């Protein structure tokens, strides 16, 4: 059974992505990993190669190519070479910030931000999570208060990818003056450019994906013009829910690509390593473990490929996307763990790709909504319509 998802255009795009990865990312990745920060030039080089902002319409500097299979090809290539930190940085901009601006940003916001996001001259982050609220976003405390035509934003965010390298952040803030757990219309989104009062805090020391920066962000009475509000006041949470399918799908795609890449690296390793006079691959246990892994990967690819086509057709629901994210990220965690075991002691050494993959995979069941929250979302849909065929 061959995978039939891609056509010639996707394969041509794959060649460009692979060359970009080999030429621009590979020579520097180890250094970025050490510094916890990739060079800004990776963004502009990606922009020059047409790898960013694929869905942006031509009038705002893009190519208007919303077909998600191109984003998928890019993730597969970064996973293949174990450069998933670059995929994560691009994911935050292209699967989170961008869809919100495309769906709800004014023409003025689009003109100011989108061309730079496509060229890579502008890097953005997405600031939802706070020290006291991650899964339960209604608990966030960052507030935006009107001051004439402007807003003043004050608060603290945490775990923000591209938080230090970014030039602007899409910030979720409370706009109804309430405290405690807010109602669904208590929050709004703002596109906030770096400036007075907006300062990145600590660079967080992550266990994996270290070549991408993740930070705290502080907003101290940051003055934001009314024109930087995204869409309407009070609609921020609704917009975020609306964009969940793409955010979750992006993580499922990366998880599947990572599992496949780890499997392939492991097959190469066990074919070359011997013990007791045999290749490790020739032990029955190894073959059985790999048989399970390959079968799980193919089932997962089938599910994720279908989800990508549903997303392209506009029919992927948040619950569908929760199922794909739950399944693919849990598989990636378990598969990279078993691949590591087949490497023996070398699996525990960071210079071996499998250990990096294991550490990268560990994020995927947490970030973008934990597995427990995915189960909540799926479980609620069952409870709401118990007799409907899912
Ligand atoms: C490396 C990294 C990068 C990130 N990047 C970003 C980013 O760019 N922007 C951003 O806004 N956020 C980002 N995040 C935040 C991420 O999305 C959150 O960490 C995640 O949503 C979980 O929130 P939390 O950490 O506050 O955990 P909590 O919400 O405190 O959860 C703690 C535990 O309780 C469980 N739990 C919570 N509620 C329930 C429930 N109702 N039922 C059962 N169990 C429950 C959770 O599943 C988890 O196991 C990033 C996180 C990391 C680690």
Beta strands in the chain (DSSP E): 124-127, 143-147, 150-161, 168-174, 187-193, 198-203, 214-225, 229-230, 274-275, 278-279
Nearest protein Cα to ligand 1, atom 16: 367
Say what angle helices 353-364 and 84-91 make with each other, to 10 degrees. Answer: 30
Same domain assignment for residues 248 and 379: yes
CB-ligand 1 contact for 172 (6 Å cutoff): no
Quick one: what percent of the chain has pLDDT higher than 90? 96
In the chain, the number of structural domains is 3
Residue nearest to atom 6 of ligand 1 (CA): 160
Residue having the nearest C-alpha atom to atom 37 of ligand 1: 135
Residue 72 lies in a domain: yes
Is 95 assigned a catalytic role?
yes
366 and 264 share one domain? yes
pLDDT at 174 over 90: yes
The Cα–Cα gap between 175 and 353 comes to 45
Q: Residue 239 contacts by C-beta under 8 Å, 6 or more apart in sequence? A: 100, 103, 104, 189, 230, 231
**Confidence (pLDDT) at 385:** 83
* Residue 202 pLDDT greater than 90, yes or no: no
Task: Tell me the pLDDT tens digit for each residue of 289-347.
Answer: 999 999 999 999 999 999 999 999 999 999 999 999 999 999 999 999 999 999 999 99
Q: Is the pLDDT of residue 81 over 90?
A: yes
- Please check whether residues 378 and 251 belong to one and the same domain: yes
Higher-scoring residue by pLDDT: 334, 388: 334
State in Å: Cα 92 to ligand 1 middle: 15
Q: Which of 95, 123, 151 is the last residue of a domain?
A: 123
Q: Tell me, what's the pLDDT at 140?
A: 96
Summarize the confidence of residues 247-258 as an average pLDDT: 97
- Domain, as residue range, for 211: 125-234
Q: Indicate whether residue 134 lines ligand 1 (CB < 6 A).
A: yes
CA of 1 to the centre of ligand 1 (A): 37
Residue bearing the CA closest to ligand 1, atom 29: 135
The active-site residue, picked from 95, 213, 228, 320, is 95
What per-residue confidence (pLDDT) applies to 355? 97
Q: Report the pLDDT averaged over residues 35-41.
A: 95
pLDDT over 70 percentage in the chain: 100
In this structure, what CATH number is given to the domain that contains residue 191? Answer: 2.40.110.10
Q: Is there an atom of ligand 1 within 6 Å of 214 CB? A: yes
Q: Which of 71, 46, 65 has the alpha carbon at shortest distance from 246?
A: 71
* Same domain, residue pair 247 and 377: yes
Using pLDDT thresholds of 50, 70 and 90, give the confidence band for residue 176. very high
In a domain, 390, yes or no: no
- My answer on whether 106 and 45 are in the same domain is yes
Q: Report residue 6: phi and psi, to 5°.
A: -100, 150
pLDDT beyond 80 at 390: no
Say if residue 115 is in the same domain as residue 154: no
Whether 3 maps to a domain, the answer reads no
116 and 37 within one domain: yes
Ligand 1, atom 12, residue with closest C-alpha = 129
95 and 151, same structural domain?
no
Domain identity same for 369 and 261? yes
pLDDT of residue 306: 97
Q: Is the CB of 135 under 6 A from ligand 1?
A: yes
What is the per-residue pLDDT for 367?
A: 96
pTM: 0.97
Question: What distance in Å separates the CA atoms of residue 105 and residue 56, rounded to the nearest whole number?
Answer: 12
Ligand 1 contact via 126 beta carbon (within 6 Å): yes
Is residue 389 situated within a structural domain? no
Torsion from C-alpha of 313, 75, 366, 294, nearest 10 degrees: 90
Ligand 1 contact via 39 beta carbon (within 6 Å): no
- Which CATH number belongs to the domain containing residue 275 in this structure? 1.20.140.10
């Amino acid at each position: 059974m061959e995978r039939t998802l891609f056509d010639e255009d996707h394969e041509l795009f794959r060649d460009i992505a692979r060359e970009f990865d080999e030429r621009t990312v590979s020579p520097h990745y180890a250094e970025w990993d050490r510094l916890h920060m990739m060079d800004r030039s990776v963004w502009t080089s990606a922009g020059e190669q047409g790898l960013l902002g694929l869905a942006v319409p031509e009038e705002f500097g893009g190519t208007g190519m919303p077909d998600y299979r191109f984003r998928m090809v890019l993730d597969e290539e970064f996973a293949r070479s174990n450069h998933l930190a670059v995929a994560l940085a691009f994911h935050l901009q292209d699967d989170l910030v961008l869809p919100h601006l495309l769906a709800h940003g004014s023409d003025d916001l689009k003109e100011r931000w989108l061309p730079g996001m496509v060229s890579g001259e502008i890097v953005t982050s997405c600031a939802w999570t706070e020290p006291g609220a991650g899964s339960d976003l209604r608990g966030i405390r960052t507030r935006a208060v009107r001051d004439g035509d402007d807003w003043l934003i004050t608060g603290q965010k945490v775990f923000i990818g591209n938080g230090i390298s970014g030039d602007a952040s899409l910030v979720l803030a409370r706009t109804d003056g309430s405290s405690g757990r807010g109602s669904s219309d208590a929050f709004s989104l703002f596109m906030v450019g770096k400036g007075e009062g907006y300062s990145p805090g600590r660079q967080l020391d992550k266990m994996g994906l270290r070549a991408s920066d993740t930070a705290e962000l502080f907003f101290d009475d940051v003055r934001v013009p009314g024109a930087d509000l995204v869409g309407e006041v009070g609609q921020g949470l609704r917009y975020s829910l609306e964009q969940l399918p793409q955010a979750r799908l992006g993580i499922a795609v990366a998880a599947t690509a990572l599992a496949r890449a780890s499997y392939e690296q492991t097959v190469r390793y066990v074919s070359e390593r011997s013990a007791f006079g045999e290749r490790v691959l020739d032990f029955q246990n190894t073959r059985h473990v790999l048989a399970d892994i390959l079968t799980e990967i193919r089932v997962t690819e089938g599910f994720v490929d279908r989800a990508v086509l549903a997303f392209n057709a506009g029919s992927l629901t948040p619950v569908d996307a929760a199922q794909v994210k739950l399944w693919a990220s849990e598989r990636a965690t378990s598969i990279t763990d078993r691949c590591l075991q087949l490497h023996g002691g070398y699996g525990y050494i960071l210079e071996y790709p499998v250990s990096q993959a294991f550490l990268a995979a560990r994020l995927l069941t947490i970030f973008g909504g934990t597995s427990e929250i995915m189960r909540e979302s799926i479980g609620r849909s069952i409870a709401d319509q118990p007799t409907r065929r899912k």
